[in-house]
């Protein structure tokens, strides 16, 4: 496609020039200050301008046309002037006019004229690359990309590679973009190249954008092999972590074993572990980071959250307080507002566990920000429920703003939780039954309703609802686990229960609660050593009171009574009111 067609309006030009005799006499030696050359202009471009009065008029006329509604004429006048003066600011202005006129082809003509006039300038190469990507002419980007990176100083290449990935990621044809990047980075990918690790990470990210996670992982592995200290391959591997791709996590661990890995990478790894319910492993990572860098706030917040999740309340209290001490004293405290709010919410929950409701309210009063204020109100409702003020708690939940469907759903679940705290199981069932009738296709509500049905001994309905969830969501572990555990806990259809729970384990192999279910069904089937092995692993991963109750009973049944009592005492310290724990102790007539 040709550039913007040239249309000179001679009469208009002559009239304009005739009206500007004073300006002609005062014509500056260079272009107008508004288009001063950039710092990246070459020495050639910095030479004294050859602009004459005639050229000055042409530039001025070009500007008048560009700003007066005739960008076609303005572009041609500015580009002609840029070619004659070899002035980078005029080339840039011609490009800007073409872009505003939404003519990338014309912008490309201007950029290539700029390159020809000033072959050592970097800016036209960068612009040419961007315009070709916009035009979808990805095969033509290979040489400009190669030349631009070759001219980029090594310290600037990480930023250049990141910008390049962002630009190519906007291309509609992701596969073609990935091929172009790999070809353009051929020199950077060679062993010994100063940016080889980051270049391979860029290739991997483009492959991932193109829907090729296996190719992305291979690129990350190549990058890590040529430069084990490079951050890019490890960051990419973090995104690729999946039980089906254990090599991704192995790469991350190799990187973290280096002397000075990025703290952010270790934090991201710990978060990924926590999302997969590998809480003990995540805690180990944050323990290591807080020892190595005790001055960093964020690791303390994540560590405190993990410790609270595992009912290590004393340690969690100390970690969260350490986070607040660091975060509130640093210059970027305002940027950490969300983290500070989350710390106060966690501290309120810890105070609630130890029944220090006044301290919990004091922490909640320090929470700021609309989103976090909603969470604080939810916690206030739970506090009221635990103090027997159920009507007040429900009213507080119902008074909260609910502008969206997501807000209304959160409001519903919060009210249901208030009723659970008060052991009002029939009211929970009634509330969820009505909500599910209003939204019959909401499978999460169906699942919650099944759990409420079990609490009021409507076991046939619970099973019907769970089987409905399994049929509609066969790759979800929760319903398989819930139905299998219910059967196992009642000691009925144990073979079927084990089959259901094993399916849940297959879908969520790292979930300690599903492992608890499997251990429990093995116990019910009389496989005590196997049950102990499974439950000990689950309790080590997640020292939850319910898992502790089951492990203690298995130990008790095998005559390991002192150890069983020790486990139960530990579980009781975490949550003395846990229903499963209390039921176990009553059934076995054990007093701690």
Spell out the per-residue pLDDT of the chain, length 592, in tens.
444 433 333 333 322 333 333 323 333 333 333 333 443 444 444 444 455 555 554 555 555 555 666 666 667 777 777 788 888 888 888 778 777 878 888 888 888 888 888 888 888 888 888 888 888 899 998 988 988 888 889 999 999 999 999 999 989 999 999 999 999 999 999 988 999 999 999 999 999 999 999 999 999 999 999 999 999 999 999 999 988 899 999 999 999 998 889 999 999 999 999 988 888 899 999 999 999 999 999 999 999 999 998 888 999 999 999 999 999 887 666 678 889 999 999 999 999 988 899 999 999 999 987 778 888 988 999 899 988 899 999 999 998 888 888 888 888 999 999 999 889 999 999 999 999 999 999 999 999 999 999 999 999 999 999 999 999 999 999 999 999 999 999 999 999 999 999 999 999 998 999 999 999 999 999 999 999 999 999 999 888 999 999 999 999 999 999 999 999 999 998 888 889 999 999 999 999 8
Neighbours of 501 (CB within 10 A): 28
Same-domain status, 162 and 211? yes
280 lies in the same domain as 226 = no
Looking at the structure, tell me whether residues 30 and 79 fall in a common domain.
Answer: yes
CB 231 within 8 Å of CB 265: yes
What domain range is 201 assigned to?
A: 139-252
What is the spatial distance between Cα 117 and Cα 50, in angstroms, rounded to a whole number? 14
| Cβ-contact 335, 297 below 8 angstroms | no
3-class SS of residue 456 = coil
CA 401 to chain centre: 27
Look at residue 245 and give its three-state secondary structure: strand
The model's pTM is: 0.69
Q: Are residues 104 and 155 in the same domain?
A: no
Which residue, 100, 10, 22, 92, is CA-closest to 58?
Answer: 10
Cα 210 from Cα 232, distance rounded (Å): 18
CATH number for the domain spanning 228: value is 1.25.40
Whether residue 26 is contained in a domain is answered as yes
**Within-domain flag for 205:** yes
How many Å apart are CA 53 and CA 11, to the nearest integer? 19
Both tokens of 437, joined, read 């009738």
d(CA 250, CA 313): 31
d(CA 508, CA 561): 32
506 in a domain, yes or no? yes
65 lies in some domain: yes
**How many beta carbons lie within 10 A of that of residue 155, not counting itself?**
9
Q: How far apart are CA 444 and CA 472, in angstroms?
A: 11
Q: What is the pLDDT of residue 85?
A: 83
Q: Distance (Å, rounded) from C-alpha 31 to C-alpha 48?
A: 11
- Token output for 453: 């049905």
- Structure tokens of 108? 């490309």
pLDDT of residue 35: 39
427 occurs within a structural domain: no
Same domain for 113 and 156, yes or no, is no
Residues 242 and 270 in one domain: no
Q: How many Å is the maximal CA-CA distance in the chain?
A: 110
| Residue 297 shares a structural domain with residue 276 | yes
Residues ≥6 apart with Cβ < 8 Å to 320: 300, 301, 304, 305, 308, 343, 346, 347, 350
Total domains present in the chain: 4
Last residue of a domain, one of 333, 366, 399: 366
Print burial letters for 181-205: b (CB count within 10 Å at least 16), e (below 16).
bbbbbeebbeeebebbbbbbbbbbb
Alpha-carbon distances of 521 from 7, 481, 500, 527, rounded to whole Å: 85, 11, 10, 9
Look at residues 191, 217, 252 and tell me which one is the last residue of a structural domain. Answer: 252
Residue 469: name the closest of 490, 491, 449 by CA.
449
CA pseudo-torsion sign 46, 50, 55, 60: positive
CATH of the domain at 529: 1.25.40.10
β-bridge partners, 242:
245
Q: Is residue 532 part of a domain?
A: yes
Given 212, 228, 252, the domain boundary residue is: 252
Q: Are residues 3 and 116 in the same domain?
A: yes
Task: Work out the angle at residue 272's Cα, subtended by the Cα atoms of residues 270 and 278, and round it to the nearest 5 degrees.
Answer: 75
Is-contact 261 299, C-beta < 8 A? no
CA distances from residue 314 to 240, 320, 542, 569 in whole angstroms, order as listed: 35, 10, 16, 16
Q: Give the pLDDT of residue 30.
A: 33
- pLDDT of 31 reads 33
Q: Is residue 342 assigned to a domain?
A: yes
Nearest CA-CA partner of 225 in 254, 245, 257, 202: 254
Q: Is residue 443 part of a domain?
A: no
Rounded to whole angstroms, the Cα distance separating 90 from 104 reads: 17
User: Could you tell me if 68 and 92 lie in one domain?
Assistant: yes
Residue 588 and residue 481 share a domain: yes
The residue behind tokens 């939850």 is 544
Question: What is the spatial distance between Cα 295 and Cα 515, in angstroms, rounded to a whole number?
Answer: 37
CA dist 485 and 504 (Å) reads: 11
Report the Cα–Cα distance between both ends of the chain, in Å, rounded.
Answer: 85
CA-CA distance, 263 to 583, in Å (whole number)?
44
Same domain, 1 and 101: yes
Whether 72 and 95 map to the same domain: the answer is yes
498 near 525, Cβ under 8 Å?
yes
> Which residues partner with 245 through β-bridges?
242
> 47-73 in b/e burial notation, b at 16+ Cβ within 10 A?
eebebeeebbbbbbbbbbbbeeebbbb
Token pair recorded at residue 301:
């917040």
- Dihedral-angle region of residue 9 (phi above 0 means left; psi in -120 to 50 means alpha; beta otherwise): beta
- For position 70, what pLDDT does the model report? 62
pLDDT of residue 539: 93
Using a 10 angstrom Cβ sphere, with 0-12 exposed, 13-18 middle and 19 or more buried, the burial of residue 466 is buried
- Counting beta carbons within 10 angstroms of the beta carbon of residue 246, is it exposed (0 to 12), middle (13 to 18) or buried (19 or more)? exposed
Q: Which secondary-structure segment (H or E) carries 369?
A: none
Output the pLDDT for position 370: 74
Tokens of 51: 């602009």
Instruction: State the pLDDT at residue 90.
Output: 81
């Amino acid at each position: 496609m040709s550039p913007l067609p040239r249309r000179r309006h001679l009469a208009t030009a002559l009239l304009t020039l005739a009206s500007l005799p004073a300006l002609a006499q005062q014509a500056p030696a260079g272009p107008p200050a508004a288009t001063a050359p950039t710092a990246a202009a070459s020495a050639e471009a910095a030479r004294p301008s050859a602009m004459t009065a005639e050229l000055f008029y042409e530039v001025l006329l070009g500007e008048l046309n560009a700003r007066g509604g005739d960008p076609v004429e303005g572009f041609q006048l500015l580009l002609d002037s840029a070619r004659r003066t070899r002035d980078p600011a005029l080339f840039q202005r011609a490009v800007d006019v073409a872009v505003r006129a939404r003519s990338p082809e014309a912008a490309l003509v201007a950029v290539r004229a700029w390159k020809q006039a000033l072959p050592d300038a970097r800016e036209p190469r960068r612009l040419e690359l961007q315009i070709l990507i916009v035009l979808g002419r990805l095969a033509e980007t290979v040489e400009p990309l190669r030349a631009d990176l070759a001219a980029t100083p090594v310290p600037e290449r990480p930023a250049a590679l990141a910008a390049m990935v962002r630009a190519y990621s906007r291309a509609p044809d992701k596969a073609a973009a990935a091929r172009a990047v790999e070809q353009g980075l051929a020199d950077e990918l060679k062993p010994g190249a100063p940016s080889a690790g980051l270049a391979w990470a860029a290739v991997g990210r483009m492959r991932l954008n193109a829907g090729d996670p296996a190719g992305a992982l291979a690129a990350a592995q190549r990058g890590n092999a040529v430069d084990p200290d490079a951050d890019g391959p490890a960051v990419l591997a973090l995104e690729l972590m999946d039980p089906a791709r254990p090599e991704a996590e192995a790469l991350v661990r190799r990187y973290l074993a280096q002397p000075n890995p990025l703290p952010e990478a270790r934090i991201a790894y710990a978060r990924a572990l926590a999302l997969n319910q590998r809480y003990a492993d995540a805690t180990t990572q944050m323990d290591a980071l807080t020892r190595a860098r005790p001055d960093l706030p964020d690791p303390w917040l994540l560590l405190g959250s993990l410790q609270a999740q595992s009912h290590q309340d004393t340690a969690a209290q100390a970690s969260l307080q350490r986070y607040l001490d660091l975060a509130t004293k640093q210059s970027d405290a305002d940027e950490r507002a969300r983290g500070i709010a989350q710390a106060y919410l966690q501290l309120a929950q810890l105070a609630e566990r130890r029944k220090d409701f006044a301290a919990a309210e004091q922490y909640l009063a320090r929470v700021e920000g609309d989103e976090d204020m909603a969470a604080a109100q939810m916690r206030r409702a739970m506090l009221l429920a635990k103090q027997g003020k159920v009507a007040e708690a429900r009213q507080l939940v119902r008074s909260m703003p609910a502008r969206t469907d997501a807000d209304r759903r959160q409001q519903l679940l919060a009210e249901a939780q208030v009723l659970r705290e008060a052991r009002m199981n029939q009211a929970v069932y009634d509330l969820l039954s009505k909500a599910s009738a209003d939204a019959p296709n909401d499978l999460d509500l169906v699942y919650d309703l099944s759990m409420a049905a079990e609490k009021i001994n409507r076991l046939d309905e619970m099973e019907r609802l769970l089987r409905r969830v399994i049929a509609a969501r066969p790759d979800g572990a929760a319903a398989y686990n819930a139905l299998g555990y219910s059967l196992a806990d009642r000691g009925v259809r144990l073979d079927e229960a084990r089959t259901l729970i094993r399916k849940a384990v297959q879908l969520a192999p790292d979930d300690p609660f599903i492992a608890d279910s499997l251990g429990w069904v093995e116990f019910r089937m009389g496989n005590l050593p196997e049950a102990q092995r499974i439950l000990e692993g689950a309790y080590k991963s997640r020292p939850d009171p319910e898992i502790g109750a089951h492990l203690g009973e298995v130990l008790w049944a095998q005559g390991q009574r002192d150890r069983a009592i020790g486990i139960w005492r530990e579980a009781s310290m975490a949550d003395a009111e846990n229903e499963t724990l209390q039921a176990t102790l009553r059934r076995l007539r054990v007093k701690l």
